[in-house]
Amino acid sequence: MERQHKKIPVGVLGATGMVGQRFIELLQNHPWFEVVALAASGKHNGRSYAESTVWRLSGSDMPATAAALPVVACRPEEMPDVKIVFSALPGEIAGEIEIAFAQAGVAVFSNAKNHRMAADVPLLIPEVNADHIAAVAQQQRQRGWSGFIITNANCSSTPLVMALKPLQQAFGVSKVLVTTLQSISGAGYPGLPSYDIIDNAIPYISGEEEKVESETLKMLGDWREGQGFADAPLVVSAHCNRVATREGHLECASIELERDASPEEIIATWENYVPEPQSVQLPSAPVHALHYRHEHDRPQTLRDRDAGNGMTVTLGRLRRCPILSYKFVMLGHNTIRGAAGGSILNAEWCVHKGLL
Active site residue 240: no
Q: Rounded distance, CA 20 to CA 76, Å?
A: 17
User: In this chain, which of 8, 11, 14, 104 binds ligand NAP, going by CB under 6 A?
Assistant: 14
Minimum gap (Å) between residue 207 Cβ and ligand NAP: 9
Contact 161, 216 (CB under 8 A): yes
Nearer to ligand NAP, 51 or 231 (CB): 51
Q: What strands lie across the sheet with 326-332, from one edge to the other?
A: 201-202, 235-243, 173-182, 249-257, 326-332, 313-320, 290-293
Catalytic, out of 155, 240, 288, 350: 155
Binding mask 171-210 for ligand NAP (x = CB under 6 A): --------------xx-xx---------------------
**What's the gap between Cα 144 and its chain centre?**
27
Chain residues 44-63 in contact with ligand NAP, contact rule CB under 6 A: 44
Nearer to ligand NAP, 91 or 105 (CB): 91
Q: Rounded distance, CA 259 to CA 172, Å?
A: 7
User: In this chain, which of 10, 37, 62, 74 binds ligand NAP, going by CB under 6 A?
Assistant: 74
Listed ranges 16-24, 26-34, 259-267, 300-308: which one lies at the site for ligand NAP (CB under 6 A): 16-24
Query: Quick one: which H or E segment has residue 40?
Result: strand 33-40
Q: Rounded distance, CA 1 to CA 278, Å?
A: 10
User: 316 CB contacts (<8 Å, ≥6 apart)?
Assistant: 292, 293, 294, 295, 298, 299, 328, 329, 330
Nearer to ligand NAP, 216 or 325 (CB): 216
Report if residue 111 touches ligand NAP, rule: CB under 6 A: yes
Residue nearest to ligand NAP as judged by C-beta position:
17
Report if residue 43 touches ligand NAP, rule: CB under 6 A: yes
Q: If you count DSSP H runs as helices and E runs as strands, how many of each does the chain have, helices first? A: 13, 15
User: 349 φ, ψ to 5°?
Assistant: -60, -40
Nearer to ligand NAP, 49 or 229 (CB): 49
Catalytic, out of 249, 288, 291, 333: 249
Q: Rounded distance, CA 278 to CA 289, Å?
A: 7
- Give Dmax (Cα) for the chain: 60
Minimum gap (Å) between residue 100 Cβ and ligand NAP: 12
Binding site for ligand NAP (CB under 6 A): 14-20, 40-41, 43-44, 74, 88-91, 93-94, 111-112, 155, 185-186, 188-189, 334-335, 338-339
The catalytic site residues sit at 155, 249
